[in-house]
Amino acid sequence: MLRSHARQPAPKGPVVLVVMDGIGRGAGDEADAVKIATTPTLDRLWIPGASTELRAHGKAVGLPSDDDMGNSEVGHNALGAGKVYDQGAVLVGRAIKSGKMFEGTPWRQVIERGLRGGALHFLGLTSDGNVHSHLDHLEAMLAAAAQAGCKQLYVHALLDGRDVAPTSALEYVDRMERYLANLRSSGIDARIVSGGGRMQITMDRYEADWAMVERGWHTHVLADARPFTSVTEAVNTLRGETPGITDQDLPAFTISPSRPMNDGDACVMFNFRGDRAIEISRAFDDAVFEKFDRVRRPDVFYAGMMEYDGDLHIPKSYLVSPPEIERPMGELLAASHISQLAISETQKYGHVTYFWNGNRSGKFDSATETYIEIPSDNVPFDQRPWMKAAEITDRLIQELRTGKHRFARVNYANGDMVGHTGKFDATVLAVEAVDLELGRLAKAVEDMQGILVVTADHGNADEMFQRDKKGKVLRDKDGQTVAKTSHTLSPVPFLIDDPMRGDRYEIDPARALGAGIANVTATCIELLGFVPPDDLESSLLRFR
C-alpha cells in the first residue's frame, strides 16, 4: 500500500497524465514541425518551475546506447514502470554474444527441422533501426544455422522506411544479399524469398487491420504474391509504378523461384518488439483461427525472437526471455485501491495498457481500472492528421466528470503516426490538433481542481527532415528537403499544470538535469498525494 504524503495533499480532482506521442523538443528550425505548429496551450504551460525537458532515448529507456532513438514500446514501459529495464535490443544482443540463445530448446528445435531436410525461414524487419529488429541479429542466426549444417535458409524481408530513412531499403537489401551470397558459396541455398512494406503486410498491431496480416500470410507462407526475379527489381519496379512511395508502403512480392513454407519447415520471427509481431504469431500458433482464411496451415515450428505477450503466452516458443518488469505503476495504484483510467485510440491503446503495465495483458484490478479504446480510422494518417484526438478528449472529459477516476493516462497518437508518414504539413496539423485538445482537457481538469501532467514517449514530429553529419538539413539536387520518417534523439517536454501549486513545490532543476521519462511515475504518485516507493526513479518535485 502506498503511504500518504506529508507535504502533498491529494488533489480534489484527478491527476491526468497526457502522453503526446512523438512530440519532442527539437532544434526549433525548419525541420521542427512542433516548433512551427501553432501551439498556444503548450506555450502557456511552459512556465518556470513547472516545466522541463526529459530524456526519452538510449540508456534512459533501456536501449544499448545513447545513439539509439527511443520508441513507443520502451517509452511506455519506462513511463509505466518508473524504472529503467534493459530492453529487447539489449537482451537479444546479450543472448547472442553469450551464446545462450543458441543453447535453448527452441533454437535446437529450429535446427532439428533444418537437419531433417526442412527449410528455415527468417521473417522480420530487415533494417538496423533497432526498434523492432536489427540485421546483426538475423545474420548471427543465419551463421549459427549454417554452422549447424542446415542447407535451406530463406529470408522474408519486411522493408522498413520508418525507423530508418524512408527509401533506404536497397541499402539493407544489398547488405543482406552479400551475406547470403557468402553462405551460398559454401553450398547453402540461402536467399530472400518474399517481402513487402511493413505498413502493407504482416506488421499490424492491436488488431487494427487483420487484412495486413492476411496479405503477409499469403506472401510468406503461401508464396502467393507478385513475383520478381530479385528484391532490387521488385523495389525499383514498385517505386516506378507509384512515384513518391516510401519503403514502408511497398506492396507484397515474392522472389522466383518461389519458396512457400511446407510441412517440416521452421520459421523464426526475428523482431524483438512485441506489438507488431503478435498477430502474425497467432496466425502461426493458433489451432482455431477465425481472423482470416489461412488456406492451409503447414506443420511449421514457429518461434519468436521474444515472448511478445507474457500473459497470453504469444508465441508458444521464443528464443529470448523479455524483460521482467516488476510492480509497474498500474499495479501499485491497484494495490492501493486508487481508481485509474487508460484511454487512447486503437493505434496506441496497447501502449497505455499492455506496455504501460509491464508487457502484461488485462487489468490488475477490474474493480478500480477502466480501459477505453477509441477505434482508429483505417486511412492514411496524413489524410486525417487530427486522427481521433477530439473523440478521445470527448470521452476522457466525460469519464473524468463522473468523479470515478483519481488517475488517468491518455495517449494522443498524432505526432508519431503522422510524423512517420514524412509529410511535413500534415504533421504540423497533427501537432496543432493535439494542442487544441490539450487546451480543452486543461480547462476541464482545472474546473475539477485536478492536476494535468504532460509529456511524451519519444521524439518524431520535432525533426521531419534528414540532416548531414554537421546537423544541417539535407537537400537533394533540386534543393528540396529530404523527408525523415523515423523517431529522433530529442528530449521530450514535461509540464505540470496545477492551479493550486502556488509556491508549495516546483520541479527541481538539479534533479531534472539528465532525468528521463522513467522519473514521471514517481512524480505522478507524489502529485496524487502518496510517497513513491524507494525503488523507483526519483520524483522531480522539490517541496519548499
As annotated, the active-site residues are: 72
Quote the DSSP letter at residue 328. Answer: -
Label residue 84 exposed, middle or buried (CB < 10 Å: 0-12, 13-18, 19+).
buried
Closest CA to 372 of 411, 343, 333: 343
Distance CA 124, CA 160 (A): 10
Closest CA to 426 of 416, 436, 438: 416
C-alpha distances in Å from residue 368, one per residue of 65, 79, 161, 327: 38, 20, 41, 16
List Cβ neighbours of 58 (8 Å cut-off, separation of 6 or more). Answer: 65, 66, 67, 68, 69, 70, 489
Distance CA 204, CA 382 (A): 18
How does DSSP assign 469-509, residue by residue?
Answer: TTSPBPB-TTS-B-B--S-B---EEEEEE-TT-TTSEEE-H
- Cα angle 160, 285, 366 (rounded to 5 degrees) comes to 90
Q: Which amino acid is residue 440, in one-letter code?
A: R
If one counts every other C-beta atom within 10 angstroms of the C-beta of residue 68, the result is 22
Region class of 144: left (phi > 0), else alpha (psi between -120 and 50), else beta: alpha
Listed in sequence order, the DSSP H helices in 185-264 are: 210-216, 231-241
Length of the chain: 544
Phi, psi angles (nearest 5°) of residue 227: -90, 145
Can the peptide bond before residue 315 be classed as cis, meaning omega within 30 degrees of 0? Answer: yes
Residues 274, 280, 285, 289: what is their CA dihedral angle, to the nearest 10 degrees?
A: 130
List Cβ neighbours of 3 (8 Å cut-off, separation of 6 or more). Answer: 530, 531
Q: Which amino acid is residue 314, in one-letter code?
A: I
Cβ distance 249 to 108 under 8 Å?
no
Closest CA to 343 of 369, 317, 380, 321: 369
Q: Which amino acid is residue 201, in one-letter code?
A: I
**Kind plus residue range of the DSSP H or E element containing 344:** strand 340-345
Distance CA 22, CA 500 (A): 29
Task: Assign 465 to helix, strand or coil.
Answer: strand
Residues 222, 228, 231, 234, CA torsion sign? negative
